[in-house]
Amino acid sequence: MSIVSRPSGGASLLGGSIVLPVAECRHALPPRTVSPWAGEPGTAGTVAVVGAGKMGLPLAAQFASHGWQVIAVDVQEAVVASINEGRSHIGEEPGVADLVAAAHAGGRLRATTDGTAAARDADVVVLIVPVMLDAAHQPDYGYMDAAVASIGQGVHRGSLVIFETTLPVGDTRARYAPRLEAASGLAAERDFLVAFSPERLYSGAALRNLSTYPKLVGGLSPASSARAAAFYDGVLDAEIVAMSSAEAAEFSKLADTTYRDVNIALANEFAAYADRVGVDIREVIAAANSQPYSHIHQPGLGVGGHCIPVYPHFLLSRAPELSLVARSREVNDGQIEVAVEAIRAALGRLGGTEVLVLGLTYRDGVKELAYSRAIPLIARLRQAGAQVLAHDPLLSDAEIRGLGAEPYPWGSPAGARAVVTQTGDPRWLELDATWFPDLAILVDGRNTLSGLALPASVSYRGIGVPGRG
């Protein structure tokens, strides 16, 4: 296949859109099954995937589709039962359900809650469980520490352990290799190998991403880098990049996501200036991005999801002097105030005012609330005395109430004086101002409704987009 030390290329930034082609599978399938597996091309062994959630299950399905025996490990018994019945428990990943069913039917995929037994049976262990943030914006290792403890006693001579969960720089070597050594009684890089390979998956496109984005791999030693690269070269169709160290691979993921956070913060500051000088930031960004070295992102009400709001803090936890990174987090988190102040300016007060928030997931089309900006937006509006209604086609009424808002039935009359869009769901284009006789302002948090017909009495406020009314 293709193992390189540097990525061979990338897409042009011209126009601000990047779509990489899907790599064709060039593997000779099925591979020859061997035990133990030692990295020989054209062979396959057994891999344990620890964490069978939204990212872990696509990985498990992908590995099984390339001839490996896969053991999915998860603490949730319902998840394990579902996989052992040949069913995917995640409903928003194209192709995953079919791969899971095929792998189960072919006897290549099973699941268990017993991490120790899975690691004992496996040649390779891939860990992909969450490391998020605690209340102080420091890494919360609870799930990962438990996952490492669960496999530790099953690690054996010849094991390869790969961390795919994004980690602060140095954690693979300094935090987790010693824990594996202590639990197994073996020595890392002598008896077993350890590497880091960041997942680079986007909800709703995981399998496509696995066939497009170069797979980055860095080990604690050249031997672990080579073995991990050989593993991924056998199960993925994209280019494999064997990096110089685990630390370089760890840093690459943090650099990737932090770049996007800083870029979005810059776009948000540009949007604020566009408001001041009366120009449309969308026109400015499109023009700037026609120069291929410019790739300015889009402004909005902030950044949600598991990655971009989180991983800059992983950098800051080790390097608080990175002031640009810290400032970007402040800018993006502060965008909620743009909506609140726009409503206050239009209405004069928020106390007792009915406000409708549209879109509660962190982005449209994905039922995931991780760091969604709707959550602090609702809290901030309620703090100011507003009565908050909300609608999201992906959430139940109970889920909406759990976020502190009263469910709004789409299309029904309501007394909302302000509407705020927190996602860019195409459904919002159906919005009819006649549903809200007292409506005074529409705050377009993702700049997707500037062409919406509004009565002269309703003002429009985008993010860096000239207002109306």
- Determine the residue type at 68: W
Helix (H, G, I), strand (E, B) or coil at 397: helix
Residue 276, H or E segment:
helix 246-277
φ and ψ of 225, to 5 deg: -60, -45
Residues 332/305, Cβ–Cβ less than 8 Å: no
Residues 377/339, Cβ–Cβ less than 8 Å: yes
User: Rounded to an integer, what is the distance from CA 425 to the centroid of its chain?
Assistant: 18
For residue 403, give both structure tokens.
């976020």
Residue 391, H or E segment:
strand 387-391
Q: In what order do the strands lie in the sheet with 354-358?
A: 406-407, 387-391, 354-358, 418-421, 441-444, 459-461
* Residue of 25, 54, 215, 253 marked active site: 253
Q: Which of 18, 343, 318 is nearest to 171 (CA)?
A: 318
Task: Tell me the longest C-alpha to C-alpha distance in the chain.
Answer: 74
For residue 232, give both structure tokens.
């991924």
- Determine the residue type at 422: Q
For residue 18, give both structure tokens.
């990047």
Respond yes or no: is residue 54 known to be catalytic.
no
> Which residue numbers are catalytic?
253, 307
